[in-house]
């Protein structure tokens, strides 16, 4: 089994020393670097390059520079996707965003998880767990979403939150760790 196959299966895999994964990350980061250098007025060029970096997008997508990801091919963004400046998506596993997702500045989505055991961690081993975001979700600024989390439709995640567990639909959730504090009437 290759390291990439182990990653996709949610097993411990070597991300730091596997040449295939290193090459794929390098290619994605080169494209992100190119994207971040495009003029803001080049909306067509920005959209075209995003559609080349990401696995799937809707027609209406905007990510303000700077944007960084690990691979790109694990990211799917629905229609009307908007992310403000300094978005980081460590997409070792799938990161799927529904329609009408709005992300504030300085937000991060991490699918990679490193072992607590120092010996394993020092060998470059990690696991990856997908992130799923529903439709009509809004993230305030400086939100961090950790591996394996699902966020339900119509949720609002307050600024500065660290999302460590699943968030149900139709709630406002805040804090570290992020927890629902209010239901949203639809």
Query: Is 114 in the active site?
Result: yes
What is the reported pLDDT for 182? 96
Q: What is the DSSP secondary structure assignment for residue 103, as one 8-state letter?
A: E
Q: Which of 114, 123, 129, 179 is catalytic?
A: 114
Encoding tokens for residue 57?
């997008």
- Output the domain CATH number for residue 18: 2.160.10.10
Domain that holds residue 155: 3-183
Residue 16 has pLDDT above 90, yes or no: no
In terms of DSSP bridges, do strands 108-110 and 144-145 run parallel, antiparallel, or are they unpaired?
A: parallel
Encoding tokens for residue 26?
């390098």
Angle between helices 19-37 and 43-53 (to 10 degrees): 170
Encoding tokens for residue 65?
């520079």
- Note the pLDDT tens digit of each residue in 69-128: 999 999 999 999 999 999 999 999 999 999 999 999 999 999 999 999 999 989 889 999
Number of domains in the chain: 1
Contact assessment for residue 123 and residue 139, using Cβ atoms and an 8 Å cutoff: no
Three-state secondary-structure class, residue 65: coil
What is the reported pLDDT for 70? 98
């Amino acid at each position: 089994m290759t390291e990439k196959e182990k990653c996709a299966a949610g097993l411990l895999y070597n991300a730091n020393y596997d040449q295939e994964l290193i090459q794929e990350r390098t290619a994605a980061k080169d494209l992100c670097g190119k994207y971040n250098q495009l003029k803001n007025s080049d909306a067509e060029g920005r959209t075209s390059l995003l559609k080349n970096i990401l696995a799937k997008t809707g027609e209406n997508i905007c990510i303000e520079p700077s944007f960084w990801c690990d691979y790109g091919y694990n990211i799917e963004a629905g229609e009307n996707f908007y992310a403000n400046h300094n978005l980081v998506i460590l997409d070792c596993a799938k990161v799927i965003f529904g329609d009408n997702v709005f992300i504030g500045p300085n937000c991060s989505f991490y699918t990679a998880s490193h072992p607590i055991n120092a010996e394993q961690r020092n060998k470059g081993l990690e696991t990856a767990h997908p992130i799923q975001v529903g439709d009509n979700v809004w993230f305030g600024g400086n939100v961090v979403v950790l591996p394996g989390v699902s966020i339900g439709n119509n949720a609002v995640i307050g600024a500065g939150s660290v999302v460590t567990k699943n968030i149900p639909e139709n709630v406002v959730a805040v804090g570290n760790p992020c927890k629902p504090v209010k239901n949203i009437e639809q």
